[in-house]
Amino acid sequence: MLQGLAFDEITVDDISFLYQSIEVSVVRLDKISPVISGNKWFKLRFYLEEAIRLNKKGIVTFGGAWSNHIVATAAICNSNGLKSLGIIRGEEPRQLSSSLQQAKQEKMQLAFISRSDYQNKKLPEMISMGDYYLINEGGYGELGAEGASSILDYCRNDFTHCCCAVGTGTMIAGMINRISRDQRAIGVNVLKNNTAIAEKVQSLAHKKKNNWQLINDYSFGGYAKHNPELLRFMNEFYRKTGIPSDFVYTGKLFYAVSALIKENYFAGGSKLALIHSGGLQGNKSLKPGALIF
């Protein structure tokens, strides 16, 4: 039996007071665990179940120095008695990021490879894949999307739009597969010039619905990029709502939705469910004092 998490802490926070005629709520997946944060458990759960069913000794997956996915995979494997190996992009630094330190505390073995090998997903020769189960970066794949679709179990069922940040496209694909034809999924792309992401999303959205859209105008320069305007917004959003965000994913999501509402993108009376996908540990890479939370 897969050892998971208790979800008693998930709440849905109403922030409609910020937006007048638009009803907005935030599904607080950031509350479920300080380690297996946000959407990570949902995307990983079925992969882990399959690995256990296949009697694998461990999990191999990919990520960068500040990867939430790496930390979550390490923690879930450790709690289920599985080995874990993280293939990390780039040369090993003198000082590991706090995320990688946390992964090591969860007994994950780290293997650093060149960026070119990482791009080609070339595994180190030491790995015997007969013993390991491979999970794509960010949990991308059909089982990841299937797990992500269960996030909607914690949403109000009367929403008109489900909005989330998009990295690999796994989470929004799960949303697309789950929502009704009267609902719409909106994804805020956090990568710059990532023209392939729509195809990746569609490949996992097996029902081939057309009631979804990617918004590409709020990457703030690209993945894990930010500027003072974004950080100011995140601080002000926290002052008004008490909801913390991260500069890689949810800060850009909340900023984009706020801007789209002001631009009348959503019809009056719309009911938006914003998925807080966690990832707050990434804020540790910012200079001290950059954020007020």
Q: Report the 3 state secondary structure along the chain.
A: CCCCCCCCCCCEEECHHHCCCCEEEEEEHHHCCCCCCCCHHHHHHHHHHHHHHCCCCEEEEEECCCCHHHHHHHHHHHHCCCEEEEEEECCCCCCCCHHHHHHHHCCEEEEEECHHHHHCCCCCCCCCCCCEEECCHHHCCHHHHHHHHHHHHHCCCCCCEEEEEECCCHHHHHHHHHCCCCCEEEEEECCCCCCCHHHHHHHHCCCCCCCEEEECCCCCCCCCCCCHHHHHHHHHHHHHHCCCCCCCCHHHHHHHHHHHHHCCCCCCCCEEEEEECCCHHHHHHCCCCCCCC
Name the CATH code of domain 12-35+151-285 (choices 3.40.50.1100, 1.25.10.10, 3.40.50.300, 3.40.190.10).
3.40.50.1100
Task: Give the global pTM.
Answer: 0.92
The residue extents of the domains of the chain are: 12-35+151-285, 40-139
pLDDT digits (tens, 9 = 90+) for 255-270: 999 999 999 999 999 9
Name the CATH code of domain 40-139 (choices 3.40.50.1100, 2.60.120.10, 1.10.357.10, 3.30.420.40).
3.40.50.1100
pLDDT digits (tens, 9 = 90+) for 79-96: 999 999 999 999 999 999
pLDDT digits (tens, 9 = 90+) for 44-53: 999 999 999 9
Residue 273 has pLDDT above 70, yes or no: yes
The overall average pLDDT reported for the chain is 92
pLDDT digits (tens, 9 = 90+) for 4-21: 665 657 889 999 999 988
